[in-house]
Amino acid sequence: MSMIEANRTGTSAGGVGIVARIIALVARWREARVTRRELNRLSDRELDDIGLCRADIERIARGF
């Protein structure tokens, strides 16, 4: 009986890890979306002032 309980506990803990990874993935996606939106609101001149161009926005938003 204790072996079955141990397996259930292990499965439950693994499920929490998956949920945590999904939450982290969604959080990163939302942060990239906000970054992308804010940088796209800037004019080309403003982007140039901070050393970026439009082609850099996606790379910056993804954190590369």
User: Is 13 domain-assigned?
Assistant: no
In a domain, residue 6? The reply is: no
**Vertex 43: Cα angle to 41 and 48 (nearest 5):** 120
Domain tally, the chain:
1
In a domain, 20, yes or no: no
Find the domain containing 36 and state its range: 25-64
Of the pLDDT bands very low, low, confident and very high (cuts 50, 70, 90), residue 15 is: confident
Q: CA-to-CA distance for 25 and 54, rounded, in angstroms?
A: 25
Residue 42 domain-assigned (yes or no): yes
With respect to residue 48, please indicate whether it lies within any of the assigned structural domains: yes
39 domain-assigned: yes
Q: What does the pLDDT read at residue 33?
A: 96
Instruction: Work out the pLDDT band at 18, boundaries 50, 70, 90.
Output: very high
Greater pLDDT, 4 or 57: 57
Q: Is residue 59 part of a domain?
A: yes
Interior angle at CA 39, CA 35 and CA 32, nearest 5 = 20
pTM of the entire predicted model: 0.66
Residue 56 lies in a domain: yes
